[in-house]
A and B are shown apart, each in its own frame.
Chain A
Amino acid sequence: MRSFWNNTGISKAFKLNLFEACSLLLLFFCGGLFMVSATCKSDDSDKPGGGHSSPTPYTLKQPAHFVKMLLPADNPLTEEGIALGRQLFYDPLLSMNGSVSCATCHLPQNAFSDGLAFSVGVNGQEGPRSSMSLANVGYYYKGLFWDGRSKSLEDQALVPVREPHEMNSDWSLVELKLRTHPKYPDLFQKAFSIRDHKEITRFLVAKAIAQFERTLISANAKYDQVLEGKASYTESEERGRKIFFDASDELPKSECGHCHIDPLFTNLDFFNNGIQQVNSLEGFPDKGRGKVTKIIYDNGKFRVPTLRNIELTAPYMHDGRFNTLEEVLDHYISGGHLADNLNPNVRQLNFSERDKTDLIAFLKTLTDTNFVHNPAFANPFNE
């Protein structure tokens, strides 16, 4: 069989009939269009990860009973990226004087919170709020922080470096330290395929930390094991579970499940839960969500925190005002302080001491010791 090209060689091109000539013209035109179309797409070679050596894709093992995690297309998880993020998370190099890392306020043993009412940054400076647990933080798609001011983990990771009460540093300085570091340029090259140490930027730092944080999944508490049929509740825990979810007409209702929706035990939303007595909506000492949205009805609203590992994350509330779960329950039993934006689900409860004991027993089934002791989440500088 004669090849097409032999049959339609250049020397014969001018001998084509009109139909063939038109078709050939169309072929070249379309071919050109196709090439233009293909090359109009973004040039990956300009982006980290688009260079000569590619990092290893990482498949996140997501719990089947969780909502699916939203993974940004411009920051895919990679083994090298996660490893770099973990290193950066624990490295005090990010702070002004090398004394504070992300992990200073997010300790694994406290489910990545710090056990303080107000987190402490460089030079002992106290921040305005308590540190939030990072358990399952990759699922937070309605904003980060107590007030939701950062839209993504990548945005959030940029903030603490420059906050005076946290790391009190300067990103230009941090970038310089990382670029001239004996190890980090190589780690960034492996994680993001950069060609030059000058390509190490704050944005890549944030991407790496965000990658690591997305792996901080807590889904192996007793609560999860019961769901999987691998464990069973005690009588007290089961009674507490029913109270928590308002699942029995014979038991008092706790109203917990409206906001602390399982399996994340937060609906990620922002509410005034009545902890602060104010005369008007302008009166909140910390305006919380309202400071971000500038909507007066958002004043005094804060993120519904996850209750996973709640046993490990005392003190409670954005200002750490409650030291124990018993104090938290006493607050909710009281119905909270009235305000125009008090969440109506916070209402007086009729609880006995047994009800409180059982509800707390259930809350403790949300403690995930595998999560807090997971070596993949531990400080790499201790290895």
Chain B
Amino acid sequence: MKKIFFLAASAVLLLAATCRDDEGSSIESIEMNFKSSFGNAPLVMYESAYPYEAGMAVKLQLFQFYLSNISLQREDNSFVLLKDVALISFKDILTPAAAAEGITLNTEGLAAGHYKGIRMGIGVAPNLNSTNPANYTPPHPLDDNYWSAATGYVFIKIEGNADTTGNGQFPAKLTFHTGANDIYKEKTFQKHIELKEGEPLQLNFSMDLKKVLSKGPDNFLDFRQITQDHSNNPAVYTFIADNLFDALVLE
């Protein structure tokens, strides 16, 4: 009896003495890096003018999108959640150097091992899209970008200006705000991912914004005709959402 008491007391005290918030040598981490381009050029807000279809050119001020249910796929096809929601915003990418650095999303708390892919939803998953900023304490990805009239979040924002005549002036104001449950889609990138103990893993994603706006010279958002959509026109917002889904690439 005494032995059991000694052991129990020692174990409790040992736990109490060593239990700290920063403990966790067995916790592995993944760094997801997102870079954006416009065609072959790195995407830089404000400064850069990018050639577009039909002799037009564009400048950007904001490009952002939500990702939901970011999960690793185990060998047995089950998934382990990395992050329920994240806002990937290129708003503060103001220099080529910042563009080369990209946007980083860190996750941790994963078990080392082999995984066969990574899945993510493009947009705000319906269960989260039914919430609103009142459910969150800032800073949180979902404390902003809420459109109360649509009782949901704006999944994708693209804002900037267009030169529609080729004269070097950019008077056309572009604002495309896309969001609705029916355009939320999940995408799985099949790739062997080995998470080794003590070795942070980096996954690199890329996104060509031009591919979001254009599928080619015969099928693009023509800024001479349309400069704005706030999920009013299904032809426009599904075009953007589908293209963004395709344009997100795991390197």
By a beta-carbon cutoff of 8 Å, the part of chain A in contact with chain B is: 4, 7-8, 19-20, 23-24, 26-27, 30-31, 33-34, 36-37, 64-70, 139, 141, 242, 245-247, 249, 253, 255, 257-258, 261-263, 267, 295, 297, 335, 338, 340-347
Contact = CB atoms under 8 A, between A and B. Distances in A.
Interface in B1-34: 2-3, 5-7, 9-10, 13-14, 16-18, 20
A3 B45 CA distance: 75
Nearest to B137: A68
A141 B138 contact: yes
Sorted from nearest, which 9 A-B pairs have the closest CB atoms?
A30-B13, A23-B6, A33-B17, A247-B149, A344-B173, A68-B137, A245-B149, A34-B17, A67-B133
A345 B154 CA distance: 14
A255 B228 CA distance: 11
Contacts of B147: 245, 257
Nearest to A335: B173
B132 to A, nearest CB: 8
Nearest to A32: B17
A34 B13 contact: yes
A69 to B, nearest CB: 8
A245 B148 contact: yes
B106 interface: no
Nearest to B230: A246
Contacts of B160: 344
B175 interface: yes
17 contacts: A4-B5, A19-B6, A23-B6, A26-B14, A37-B20, A64-B134, A66-B134, A67-B134, A67-B143, A70-B138, A141-B138, A245-B148, A247-B149, A257-B148, A340-B46, A345-B173, A347-B227
Contacts of B6: 19-20, 23-24, 26-27
B146 interface: yes
A27 B13 CA distance: 7
A37 B45 CA distance: 49
Contacts of B2: 7-8, 20
A347 B173 contact: yes
| Secondary structure type dominating chain A contacts | loop
Nearest to B3: A19
Interface of B: 2-3, 5-7, 9-10, 13-14, 16-18, 20, 45-47, 59, 61, 94, 133-134, 136-139, 143-144, 146-149, 159-161, 170-171, 173-175, 177, 227-228, 230, 232
B159 A345 contact: yes
Given A67-B134, A68-B138, A297 B94 contact: yes
A33 B160 CA distance: 59
Given A261-B144, A340-B46, A344-B174, A27 B17 contact: no
Given A70-B138, A345-B175, 19 more contacts: A24-B6, A27-B9, A34-B13, A37-B20, A67-B143, A68-B136, A68-B138, A69-B137, A141-B139, A245-B147, A246-B149, A255-B175, A257-B149, A258-B177, A267-B144, A340-B46, A340-B59, A344-B174, A347-B175
Contacts of A249: 232
Contacts, number: 107
A30 B143 contact: no
Contacts of B9: 27
Nearest to B147: A257
Contacts of A30: 10, 13-14, 16-17
Contacts of B18: 33
Contacts of A258: 175, 177
B12 to A, nearest CB: 8
A102 to B, nearest CB: 25
Contacts of A338: 171
A343 B230 CA distance: 16
A344 B175 contact: yes
Contacts of B45: 297
